[in-house]
Amino acid sequence: MSLHNFCDNCKVSIDNHISNCPLCGKCVSEKEKNLLTTQTTTYPSVSNLNNKKMAIIKLISCSLFLATAVLFAIEFFVTKSIRLSFYFLASYLLFQFAVLIPIKHNFSLATSSILALLFLQCYILFIELYSHTFGWGVTYVMPLIALAYSIYNGVLIVAKGYFNFEYFLPICFSGAISIVFFLVNYLNSWKFWPSLAAMLFSCVIVLLIIFFKNKRLKKSIEKKFHF
Amino acid sequence: MLTIKQLFKKSSQYKRAKNLSKKRIKNKINQEQHNQEEWYKLDNAGLIFPAIQQSSWNSVFRISAYLKEKVNPQMLERATNDVIKRFPAFNVSLKRGVFWYYFQQINKYIKVEEENTYPCQAIPLTKSTPLFRVVYFNKKISLECFHSLTDGRSALVFLNTILSRYFVLLGHNINLNNLPVSYLDSPQPEEWEDAFNKYSDLKEKAPRKEKTGYQLEGEINKNKHLNVISLIMNSNEIKTLAQTKYNCSIQEFLCAIVIKALQDQQIQQISRNTKPVKLSVACDLRRFFPSKTLRNFANVINFGTNKGDGELSLEQCVEYAKQGMILFTKENLMKINNTNVADQKNIFIRLVPLFIKNWIMNMVYFGSSEKGFACPFSNLGIVNDGAEFKELVEKYDFIVGALKFNKFATSVITYNNNLTLSFSLKVKSTDIVKKVSDILVNNGIKVHIESNMNNKI
């Protein structure tokens, strides 16, 4: 053993790099000094831990909340109504649930993208209903977003070969949403070609995977649903 | 000069070779993808840890080997990546299923880093990160594992296998036959079995209910980092003292010391209506049920003082420890195992979605699990596997990260006549360790201390 310090109070020998006894806190007596110049410690010197990621997320979340509250106050006191502020509130909620929470809780790519799609669709529906300009969201924008999402997942699956259930689920989800849009538009005799395109694309990708990569998919479903 | 026929032959040979190499590359990719599709269910003990994790905490333990020479990081990294192929179920990441978590094989290249933070920091359980880390500092190599992956005994086997490869790469002569696992062998399926399920007969079960025990109090460290204090002493001295003066084993003696220290601490705070002071002592089930598994295969039994006990002498605490150690029989451990496995196999519990299960397990854990004992106590015993490294390894260290609610944890490991009793504390006060040290010193044991407490910037 190398040369050590000794605590007269606790009657224990202590590693020579420790100047204060960990048990009683007193400065230890130096029996013989260690003359080695190289480091002989067993633990590194560390600064206090800071979880930077959490701190930044909290900062962004608080800043946005504060900005929304300030806008509410300004609009209320200036225009005596809070009509526009609800748009900011909806945007804040969208950003919170679609971006910050997945980052904070380290959701997987599939879960994050499903949440983003879901909240984006809700946001567009809210704008459509709140602004009384019904017709552009459900008919065009939302189905086209679902189509873009299906194309994105389709590229991931086909080009990159990601046949996991994690990538299969988002395509099923966007397919289900597209079917809902198609039915809503068709039954109301609105323009249904965007939702039809999204529905057909998603269904084709799902069927291709089921028919040509069913073994991989089966294994993926088996581990996901094992009980 | 080649003829046209020869040229044609050569070009078609070249094409065949090119196609063959393309096919080989494609097969290799398919093989790698197939390997990456290998997955494992969590063993019975491993199910609770992902459920109770927090963003800044999960259940991690560390085993360290102190070498006689400074660590060569490049060789260590190479050794780790050579050896990980022998332990395929270690190179996994944690994934969420609909009903249970599972391990997904990732075959990732393991990067070895210099230690730059506190011991037993939370291991990220996200995406495709391995559930263990290998770090080094000066002459120390440390292996930190998430507890769902494996237990202390198997982690020690893994670390020793890395060390064997590391020393071979450095040019030392190591007889791999003297080690329990050689990195030259192929992995065996028995090493990944869920031994809990294998050895449960679900006939008799142990009761779960436990009374609330004494909990150490104190101001928690900032960011909940761990203060580690290791008491190093001569194992022969301890053995002689335990046998001659107290007529007990080393394990019973060490448990008794910790119980006495906790009881004294409790008496200082409240002089009457004391709560029972209990330790949660881990037991390697491989001693009772033969298994080659390298995953979790250990259970715990809580024992200690009774409610209302006043100041106790060390002899009285030794009696309590002896009564506790008597409980470690094959029948009792089988009952505990049956209770745990029965919950896992209950059809209603199995069909509950994972997010609800996590919430329930968290509530049950908070309500009952850690409240019954003051600290976990894990003893890895004597490191016999490291006999090959006697000239190269000075000592081993074993640190158990403090649990979710308990304020500290105790762990023991012995190598080359050095017994290391380590305390990992979430609190600033070190009174409990001082009490333990005083008991040892007063009994004539020479104690040497190592700690990370002086190393803050």
ipTM: 0.73
pLDDT band at B29 (very low <50, low <70, confident <90, very high): low
Q: Output the pLDDT for position B68.
A: 93
* B2 Cβ under 8 Å from any chain A Cβ: no
pLDDT band at B310 (very low <50, low <70, confident <90, very high): confident
Q: Output the pLDDT for position A31.
A: 47
B373 touches B380 (CB < 8 A): no
Q: Do B229 and A14 touch (CB under 8 A)?
A: no
Query: A interface mutation test: which of B431, B434, B435 has the most A CBs within 10 A?
Result: B434
Q: Which of B187, B183, B139 is nearest to B164 (CA)?
A: B183
Give the residue-averaged pLDDT of B125-133: 85
pLDDT score of B185 more than 90: no
pLDDT tens digits for B60-113? 999 999 999 999 999 999 999 999 999 988 999 998 888 999 998 888 899 999
B198 touches B92 (CB < 8 A): no
Closest partner residue to A23 (CB to CB) among B33, B433, B446 is: B433
DSSP 3-state of A129: helix
Stretch 7-26 of chain A: residues touching chain B, C-beta under 8 Å: 10-15, 17-24
Chain A residue numbers touching B138 (CB-CB < 8 A): 39-42
A22 touches A42 (CB < 8 A): no
- Range of lowest pLDDT (B251-265, B284-298, B343-357): B343-357
Q: Do A51 and B41 touch (CB under 8 A)?
A: no
B300 touches B281 (CB < 8 A): yes
Q: Output the pLDDT for position B456.
A: 46
Contacts of B456 (CB under 8 A, 6+ apart): A45, A46, A47, A48
Taking CA–CA distances from B221, the nearest residue in chain A reads: A48
Stretch 163-222 of chain A: residues touching chain B, C-beta under 8 Å: 216, 219-220
Q: Output the pLDDT for position B168.
A: 94
* Strands laid side by side in the B418-425 sheet: A5-7, A12-14, B448-451, B227-234, B418-425, B408-415, B375-382, B278-284, B298-304
Q: Output the pLDDT for position B37.
A: 62
Q: What is the interface size between A and B, counted as CB pairs within 8 Å?
A: 130
Which of the pair, B16 or A8, is modelled with greater confidence?
A: A8
DSSP 3-state of A37: coil
Report the distance separating Cα B275 and Cα B302, nearest Å: 14
By CB atoms closer than 10 A (0-12, 13-18, 19+), residue A101 is middle
Q: Do B117 and A10 touch (CB under 8 A)?
A: no
Give the DSSP letter of residue A6. Answer: E
Contacts of A11 (CB under 8 A, 6+ apart): B441, B447
Q: Do A11 and B115 touch (CB under 8 A)?
A: no
Token pair listed for A121: 């669709």
* B430 Cβ under 8 Å from any chain A Cβ: yes
DSSP 3-state of A227: coil
Q: Where are the alpha helices (DSSP H) in chain A?
A: 52-79, 85-95, 101-104, 109-130, 142-160, 165-187, 193-212, 214-224
Contacts of B282 (CB under 8 A, 6+ apart): B152, B298, B299, B300, B376, B377, B378, B379
Q: For chain A, 227 residues long, give each residue's pLDDT as a single digit of tens.
A: 456 788 888 889 888 778 888 888 887 755 444 433 334 577 887 765 556 777 888 899 999 999 999 988 888 888 887 788 888 888 899 998 888 888 887 777 778 888 889 999 999 988 888 888 877 888 889 999 999 998 888 887 777 666 677 778 888 888 899 999 999 889 988 888 888 998 999 888 888 888 877 777 788 888 888 88
Q: Output the pLDDT for position A133.
A: 83
Chain A residue numbers touching B449 (CB-CB < 8 A): 12-15, 18, 21-23
Residue B188 identity: Q
Q: Output the pLDDT for position B15.
A: 66
pLDDT score of B6 more than 50: yes
Chain A residue numbers touching B104 (CB-CB < 8 A): 223
Three-state secondary structure of chain B: CCCHHHHHHHHHHHHHHHHHHHHHHHHHHHHHHHHHCCEEECCCHHHHHHHCCCCCCCCEEEEEEEECCCCCHHHHHHHHHHHCCCCHHHCEEEEECCCCEEEEECCCCCCCEECCCCCCCCCCCCCCCCCEEEEEECCEEEEEEECCCCCHHHHHHHHHHHHHHHHHHCCCCCCHHHCCCCCCCCCCHHHHCCHHHHCCCCCCCCCCCCCCCCCCCCCECHHHCCEEEEEEEEHHHHHHHHHHHCCCCHHHHHHHHHHHHHHHHHHHHCCCCCCCCEEEEEEEHHHCCCCCCCCCCEEEEEEECCCCCCCCCHHHHHHHHHHHHHCCCHHHHHHHHHHHHHHHHCHHHHHCCHHHHHHHHHHHHHHHHHHHCCEEEEEEEECCHHHHHCCCEEEEEEEECCCCCCCEEEEEEEECCEEEEEEEECECCCHHHHHHHHHHHHCCCCCEEEECCCCEC
* Mean predicted lDDT score pLDDT of chain B: 88
B132 touches B90 (CB < 8 A): yes
Q: Do B441 and A44 touch (CB under 8 A)?
A: no
Closest partner residue to A223 (CB to CB) among B39, B430, B456 is: B39
Beta-bridged to residue B114, according to DSSP, are B136
What length does chain B have? 457
* Strands laid side by side in the B140-146 sheet: B113-114, B132-137, B140-146, B60-67, B393-400
Q: Output the pLDDT for position B90.
A: 93
- Give the other-Cβ count within 10 Å of B211's Cβ: 12
Give the DSSP letter of residue A153. Answer: H
What distance in Å separates residue A128's CA from the closest CA in chain B?
Answer: 33
- Measuring CA to CA, how many Å separate A42 from each of B70, B136, B138, B233, B391? 11, 10, 7, 17, 19
pLDDT band at B18 (very low <50, low <70, confident <90, very high): low
B164 touches B156 (CB < 8 A): no
Q: Output the pLDDT for position A35.
A: 39
Percent of chain B beyond pLDDT 90? 55
Q: Do A15 and B453 touch (CB under 8 A)?
A: no
Q: Output the pLDDT for position B55.
A: 72
Q: Output the pLDDT for position A49.
A: 56
Q: Do A15 and B104 touch (CB under 8 A)?
A: no
Q: Do A12 and B137 touch (CB under 8 A)?
A: no
Q: Output the pLDDT for position A37.
A: 36
- Measuring CA to CA, how many Å separate A70 from each of A61, A81, A87, A167, B442? 14, 14, 14, 40, 66
pLDDT band at B386 (very low <50, low <70, confident <90, very high): low
Token pair listed for B273: 């209506």
